[in-house]
Structure 1
Amino acid sequence: MQPLLLLMAFLLSPKAEAGEIIGCHEAEPYSRPYMAYVRYTSSKNKYCGGFLVHEDFVLTAAHCLGSSITVTLGAHNIRVKESTQQVIPVKTPIPHPQYNNTPYANDIMLLQLEDKATLNDAVRIIGLPGRRDKIKPGMVCSVAGWGRLGVNTPGPAKLHEVELEIQRDEECTSRFIYYNKEFQICVGDPTKIQSSFKGDSGGPFVCGQKAQGIVSFGKNTGKPPRVYTRIKYFVPWIKRTMKRFNLQRPH
């Protein structure tokens, strides 16, 4: 199974079969103008989520690294050419230098865009956590993406979203050998089968008006909780890296 874990909410009714998804819902079109659809090539064409953090930088997961990366901003239905869409090639993918794909440590990557995005109602930057920002178990935040709706169900054309609860770290340390509470967040109530899933990797975990996490990994069954990269830990690297690469860009 592929390691990508993307978004989808699925609540099973008493008579539902394991693959039937009935809990997630379509997002209001363009209500998440920071969302990015990231397509790349590895062994075959793949996609991830991402989000705009600067006019020419998208943040995503490091395990979404591939060749010929293209970002689509301002999208709701990614299978049609909407007038709001901006399709921009990636100039330089910048995975975290300490990324390790075995335990998915430091699973974060900046994508420097070839051209700056044009900001408007459908394309906007989302804020990053500040030093004093705190998130804790019990808080309910949201994830959105174009990921699969179930183990055997393909991803939808239109952006979907779901609200998920932050869990105690113990819920993930008991399930994942490499979970580290310093730079990861445990997300998704294990009693609700409501979660991100394949294709949602790299998408933002949004609390209030800020991106607090990045969809990273979990069990291939799609059952929560799952592990998200804790953005706050990486903000100094993000800012330092964007500044360095922008200084290298010809003016």
Structure 2
Amino acid sequence: MNTVSDLITRPNCPYCNCERTFKNGSTHNKKQKYLCKNCKRQFVKNPTKKTISLSKKKRIDHLLLEKISLAGIARTVGVSKTWLQNYVNKKYAETPRKIKVSEKPKGKMSIECDEMWSFVKKKDNKQWIWLAIDQETKEIVGFYLGDRSRESAKKLWKSFPPVVRQCAVCYTYFWESYQRVIPKKRHKPVAKTTGKTNHIERLNNTLRQRLSRLARKTLSFPKKLENHLGAIWNFIHHYNQCLSV
């Protein structure tokens, strides 16, 4: 049975701040462990390695969507670079790799497509970002990261929701990869002067302004392809969610 002194000295959960905690064994160095009845997490009182609060993690999530380096985020939030890098690795690995868009009824639809270059580790290792945007809703409806080949254009086309592939007219520049992949009745190559690709060009600019890894001259360049892909997917989900709100 728990005594009154046990109830007084028992700490709140550092993860969810719940008071319903109880003793749950000890660590290898004889330090008392506790278990939270609410979130089921284990913890110790006054740990050597401090627990990062949920509010601080949410702040980090917001900062990852701004043009700031990981070193800058670590300084701003007050966490170690090692912890932050591990947190980012896990977050980007768990980020969904599928476009989420609002429900679109069958009917007339216009899509703008374009590609922009980025690089990983060194500028010789170019990674092309293929994007497609709905002219009316401004939602990103297609994305693929790869080279600038016909195969990458095919992957972009396959990333579209089925209703977009069935109904949309796609406006692109005169890049031959598009012409070989998009069906003729769904494809309209145009020049920049027509204004038919203004929205996708503006989106490219937004990406370079919001993600430091995409700036043309930057020290915050990506060193890991998986994280580069995860960061872009993370921004795409945030961008589309903001439009729906």
* Bin of the TM-score, shorter chain as denominator length: under 0.3
Q: TM-score, normalised by structure 2?
A: 0.24
**Which of the two has greater strand per residue?**
1
> Which fold has the larger relative contact order, with Cα–Cα distance below 8 Å and residues 6 or more apart in sequence?
1
**Which of the two has greater helix per residue?**
2
